[in-house]
Amino acid sequence: MKTTFLIIAIIGCAALGILGVEQSKKLQTQNDELLAVKAQVTSLEAQLKEKEDAIENAKSVEAKAKILQKTLSESTTAAVAESKKSEQLQQSLDEAKTNNPMHTMASMFKDPNMRDMIKSQQKAALGPMLDKQYADLFKQFNLTPEQSANFKDLIMKKMLAGADAGLSMMDDSLDPSQRADLGKQAKAQTDEVDAEIKQFLGDNNYQAYHSYEKSVPDRMTVSQFGDQMAGSPTALSPEQQSQMIQALSDSRNNFNWTSGLNQQNPAANGDIAGMLTDDNIAKFAAEREQFDAQFLAKAKQILTPEQYPAFEKYQEQQRQLQLMGLNMAKQMFKR
């Protein structure tokens, strides 16, 4: 019985031993596997960390690239916009220059055919004007019809002397020195014809003509106003016209003009741009307004109460037209 139990005990111990050995092997294997897994996990964690860092770096680079790309895009868009704006501005400036009425007018004077047409029109307009404005002088000199015709031709020749030079001065591409040369050329031609007139009239009559010539602008002013009133109950009488001309000439000669723009031939040296400055035109405008106010007091003594308001309005219109002409000339002859 004991033997049986001993054998059973030995078998049980052997079985337990075998089981312990097997169990120990399994534990060792599992432990090795665990260590291997841990090593893999550590390796994977390291790889993951590297990938995460790489991803972060990539994100940073990508973000920076996007920011740079956006900045470049915005800069390019702004540059294109500014370029277009610059082109549009230049185009506007070019169009403004091309469409400038003064520039267009100056271009017209470069055309020989246009200049010939202008001179023909001047001659056509001057004929009746000379007959009207110089009629009193023709009578004063007691000239024959033939002498009157010759004298009239000389006066027209003087007025048109230097016409080519004068029209050439309208060229807005000329510089001040070129305009000055043309001005001297026009003055030389005018002086040459003036010498012919002096020879034709003689010294005494020439002095009378010279004095009369100074009153021609005033005669034209009064004549135009007289034509405006003609045929109405308030028409000017010949005596009134004569009194107005004399009073206007005396007033103009005695007024202290300082701008130089009231001369019959301002800027005869060709420096038109130097005369037509904003300050000089403003000075003339103030002087002209002052002169007109002073002359109105004299005109009031010559004109009737019905005629006076019409002359006051006419005088204002003439002043505005003269200032408009000076400003247009300033634009044409500006440096």
**Per-residue model confidence as pLDDT tens digits over 68-93:** 565 555 555 554 555 565 566 555 54
* 131 lies in some domain: yes
Query: Which range has the worst mean pLDDT, 99-113, 115-129, 140-154, 163-177?
Result: 99-113
Domain end (from 172, 201, 230): 201
Q: What value does the mean pLDDT take over residues 194-219?
A: 92
pTM value surpassing 0.85? no
Q: How far apart are CA 198 and CA 212, in angstroms?
A: 14
Q: Where are the beta strands (DSSP E) in the chain?
A: none
Q: What mean pLDDT, rounded, does the chain reach?
A: 75
222 contacts 245 by C-beta, under 8 angstroms = yes
- Which amino acid is it at 169? M
294 contacts 256 by C-beta, under 8 angstroms = no
* Closest by CA position to 333, among listed 108, 101, 106: 106
Residue 65: which pLDDT band, with cuts at 50, 70 and 90?
Answer: low
Q: Quick one: 176 and 228 in the same domain?
A: no
DSSP string, 172-196: TT--HHHHHHHHHHHHHHHHHHHHH
Q: Quick one: 190 and 117 in the same domain?
A: yes
| Residue 241 confidence (pLDDT) above 90 | yes
Q: What pLDDT score was predicted for residue 301?
A: 96
Q: What pLDDT score was predicted for residue 240?
A: 96
* 207 lies in some domain: no
Q: Quick one: 172 and 230 in the same domain?
A: no
Better pLDDT: 306 or 40: 306
pLDDT > 90 in the chain, percent: 30
* 259 lies in some domain: yes
Q: What pLDDT score was predicted for residue 14?
A: 37
The tokens describing 251, both together, are 């007033």
* 93 lies in some domain: no
Domain end (from 147, 177, 201): 201
Q: Quick one: 190 and 226 in the same domain?
A: no
Query: Which range has the worst mean pLDDT, 13-22, 115-124, 279-288?
Result: 13-22
Q: What pLDDT score was predicted for residue 95?
A: 52
* 8 lies in some domain: no
Better pLDDT: 83 or 117: 117
- Contact residues for 190 (Cβ-Cβ < 8 A; gap 6+): 158, 161, 162, 265
Q: What pLDDT score was predicted for residue 122?
A: 77
Write out the residue range of the structural domain in which residue 233 sits: 216-335
Q: What value does the mean pLDDT take over residues 185-202?
A: 91
* 60 lies in some domain: no
* 90 lies in some domain: no
Quote the number of domains for the chain.
2
Q: Quick one: 173 and 241 in the same domain?
A: no
Domain end (from 167, 201, 235): 201
